[in-house]
Chain A
Amino acid sequence: MHIYIFIIALVHIYVKRYHNRVIKTRKDMILVELLAKEQIQRTSEKGISWQDAITLSAKPLLDKKIIAGDYIDAVIAVCQEKGPYMNIGSQIVLAHARPLPSTKEACIALLQTAEEIFFMDEKHPARLWFFLATPDATSHVAIMQKLAAVLTDSDKIQRLLAAESIEILANVFSGE
C-alpha cells in the first residue's frame, strides 16, 4: 500500500516538473521566435544618419551570419529609390527589401535610438528601427503576425519608446 502511494507521489512530482518545463519553454520560444535579447540594441549616439541606424539595427543578424552585407545595401538602396514608405507608423521604421540568396532564414532585429533620427526628411522622425529579412516570400509569416500584434497595440509602442533597457524592450515582445 505504502509503495503505491510512494509511486503515485513520484509520478505526480514528475508530471508537475515536466509541465513547468513545457510552460517555461513555450514562453522562451515566443521571445526567441520574435525578438531575442541578442537581436535588440539601444543607442544614445547623437547625429547618426538613417543609413547608420539601419546598418546598426542589422548588425546582430550580420554578426550571426543570418544575413549578409549585400542585403543591408539593398534595403538602403530601396529606401533611397522609393522614399520613406517604410516609416509604417509614428516613430517606427520597418526596414526590408526583396529576398536575397544571402539571407539564411527569416529574422528580425530592433534598434531603439535615444534621439529621433529623420528617415529621409524631417517629416519622418523615428526612434524604433526594425530590420526584417526573409529568404523567400513566406518564411516570415509567423514573424509578421507577431510583429503586427505588437505594433497595432499603442500601449506596447509607448512601452517600447519609453524602455530604458534591453530587458524592458524584450519583455514587450514576450508578452510580460
Chain B
Amino acid sequence: MKFLCICQSGLGSSFMVQMNIQNVLNAMNVKNEIIVDHSDVGSTTPDLADYFFIEETLGEAISNLPKDRVVLLKSLIDKNEIQTAVCKILDKEKISHD
C-alpha cells in the first residue's frame, strides 16, 4: 500500500502531510507496511500510489487521478482530519488498526 502526498512544489505542504500521516499511522498502531511519500503535481500519475492526498484548492490540478483514490484535505496540519481520512482508507482496505 502506498500513500502519496502532493503539492505544487512537492517540498513543503506535501511533506507536511506525509509526516502527519506517518504520525497518525504510528499512533493507530498500523502493522501493515504502508509507504508514505510526497511529490509535486506535475510528476504525479495514477500508477504512482494507491491513494493520493492533496490540499482541496489544488484538486483541479490533479484531474488525471481517479477521484475514488484522491483525498482532498481542508487543513494539512489538523491531526483529526487526517486521522479520519486515513481511517476510512484502512477500513476500506481491511487493514487493522487501533
Q: Within residues 73 to 121 of chain A, which ones have a CB less than 8 A from any CB in chain B?
A: 78, 82-86, 88-90, 92, 94, 96-99
* Chain A 36-80 interface mask (CB, 8 Å, partner B; 1/0): 000000000000000000000000000000000000000000100
- Residue A152 is within 8 A (CB to CB) of chain B in the complex: yes
CB within 8 Å of A: which of B17-58? 19-20, 23, 40, 55, 57-58
The answer to whether A86 touches B11, judged by C-beta atoms less than 8 angstroms apart, is: no
Size category, B interface: 20 to 34
Q: In whole angstroms, what is the CA distance A60 to B61 when docked? A: 33
Known pairs A82-B58, A83-B58, A148-B16; A137 contacts B11 (CB<8 A): yes
Cβ-closest chain A residue relative to B78: A89
Q: How many residues of A contact B (CB 8 A)?
A: 26
Q: Kindly state the separation between the CA atoms of A56 and B16 in the bound complex, as whole angstroms.
A: 23
- Interface hit among A9-17, A19-27, A139-147, A166-174: A139-147
7 contacts across the A-B interface (CB closer than 8 A): A83-B58, A85-B57, A88-B77, A98-B40, A99-B11, A140-B11, A152-B79
**Interface residues in chain A, defined as those with a beta carbon under 8 Å from any beta carbon in chain B:** 78, 82-86, 88-90, 92, 94, 96-99, 132, 134, 137, 140-141, 144-145, 147-148, 151-152
